[in-house]
Structure 1
């Protein structure tokens, strides 16, 4: 068996696009693959496949990145033919080959319906993917809820409980540091095991600066007396407006202020004509999930995120 990256040869792309979507886990369509290639968010060198001795494709892995990314950001699609006796072994070998070429271990995002555990076929398809990911170094797991807001939901009116304003880079750095304390976000908790809060804050700021959203969208949230209450970072993906980052400082939590911060982000995007606002939160972050529910955001899927563990 051979593991190799695709080339820009149209015949290679045709073979990858035509690979059957075996199994119950949703896969990218041929049309979507070509669309993503056209905008440089999929690239031939980020598409890897396993071939048998006759040249038949037994498995494919498609990694995704932004148009200007030097390396892929996430594994978007992993498939092994249903006729393969050892899908874990083939998939793990394919992922290892891609990781070696990239010099990195991009995370793997699996989009699933909320009831996926109750479907034996789907649960089984997730199980071999998870095992292959673990074998290739992606042994840290987070399960996230994906939410969407559309204009069918009400745009919240300002309540006056918080005042939102622009802030300096230093003020946002301080806010990121303060919000990380006691965070229920699993990624934040994991990262704080290997770095201090300021280093994580700088990395978070760099991440959101690199997103399609604008720095001018960011807002600090204050109580009427000027006390910092939290911050709201509307953001965007290459496809939709996005909630980005939001939170309330530890000493102001438990008063319902997260609803006000989320409302500010929703108002901002709605005022810009957004037809859809996406958001995610960990399934264990019950307070944040409840805030999305109250704000009219609809939970559309589960996103299982498999990543390399913090060092």
Structure 2
């Protein structure tokens, strides 16, 4: 079995393996578009092939921002449901050999991910990138979707991505009026990035956003805060002029808003409420302000938002402002 990244000339053979699947909406057209934008790269697309020149048994595709040196996350994983396994020396079992109780797709995909992770680690990428699966909101209620997730999750866990977190993804149409919830907050611009670094650091205590809390535990609150500011400043496509400080009528800083834009649509990038101001409904007011800015500044039809399944206050705030849960993102990670 051979595990390797592709060369550009092999793209058509790889695209032939990308078929409609209940656990991913990725299409051949999307792969081509993301290759053109730099979000996918040939050395971030790996295949498992039984012998040189034969059709791949599995394909793994990692995503990163156009400026990234390393991929940020695994975006898609495909494997043939009827892989033609080559002859195996029974005295020398290798990681990709399936056991009778394991879906052969899981076995070959796990071996493919493990091989890629080893190469990424040798190049300085530790831990391995997370795996993101984009799913319907009720995906567990649909056997075909659950089965599609199951073999992929088994492969990811076998390759070291053993931790799971689930996030809710919301949408709101930009042509709908944004509700005026109250006049308790007013919003001001702030050109100094260091102010936002300080605010990111201050909102971390007792944060219900699982991904932010996890990163802060791994690298510390200061590094996390600076990473967040750098991400929204340089890697996302939103304008820096959209960022706002939320203040009470007496001028106290209660939180902040970072409307943003990914490569496709405007997004509620980040909202933070300082611990001493939580429990007053300010999150909904900040989301409403973000939504107003994005509706005015963007020509898109929808604004999207995302938060952890466990972040009940933000879920309630999004729903109050008129966002509706459209799907979920399952994140499988090494740490």
Q: Which TM-score tier does this pair reach, normalised by the shorter chain?
A: over 0.9
Q: 1:156 maps to which residue?
A: 179
1:90 is the counterpart of 2:108: yes
**2:18 and 2:28 in contact (8 A); partners too:** no
SS at match of 1:57: coil
Equivalent residue number for residue 138 of structure 1: 161
> Residue 296 and residue 109 in structure 1: after superposition, are their counterparts in 2 closer, same or farther (change >3 A)?
same
Q: Name 2:246's counterpart in structure 1.
A: 221
Count of aligned pairs:
307
| Cα deviation, residue 155, structure 1 | 2.2
Mean Cα deviation higher: 122-131 or 15-24: 15-24
Corresponding residue of 1:293 = 319
Normalising by structure 2, we get a TM-score of 0.86
2:43 pairs with 1:25: no
> How has the CA–CA distance of structure 1 residues 148 and 249 changed in structure 2, closer, same or farther, with 3 Å as cutoff?
same
How much does 1:157 deviate?
3.8
Please tell me whether the aligned partners of residues 76 and 110 of structure 1 are also in contact (alpha carbons under 8 angstroms).
Answer: yes
Relative to structure 2, which stretch is displaced further, 255-264 or 269-278? 269-278
Q: Which residue of 2 aligns with 1:5?
A: 5
Deviation at 1:220, TM superposition (A): 0.9
Query: What secondary structure sits across from 1:193 in the alignment?
Result: helix
Partner of 1:211: 236
Moved over 4 A (4+): none
Unaligned runs of 5+ in 1: none
Q: What's the secondary structure of 1:232's corresponding residue?
A: strand
The residue number in structure 1 matching 2:198 is: 174
Contact 1:179 1:249 in 2 (8 A): yes
CA distance in 2, matches of 1:102, 1:195: 20
Residue 23 (structure 1) shift: 4.7
Matched, 1:262 2:287: yes
Cα shift readout 1:202-256 (whole Å, capped 9, x = no counterpart): 2221222222222222111110111110000111111111111102111111111
Tell me by how many angstroms 1:158 deviates.
Answer: 7.2
In 1, Cα distance between equivalents of 2:163 and 2:230: 23
User: With structure 1 as the length reference, what TM-score do the two structures score?
Assistant: 0.93
RMSD: 1.8
> How many angstroms does 1:20 deviate by?
4.7
Alpha-carbon separation, structure 2, partners of 1:151 and 1:23? 30
Aligned mate of 2:50, from 41, 52, 64: 52
Check conservation: 1:145, 1:302, Cα contact below 8 A: yes
Greater mean alpha carbon deviation, residues 185-194 or residues 253-262: 185-194
Instruction: Judge conservation of contact 1:241–1:274 (CA < 8 Å) in 2.
Output: no
**TM-fit CA distance, 1:76:** 1.1
Give the match's secondary structure for 1:194: helix
Structure 1 contact 156–267 (Cα < 8 Å) conserved: no
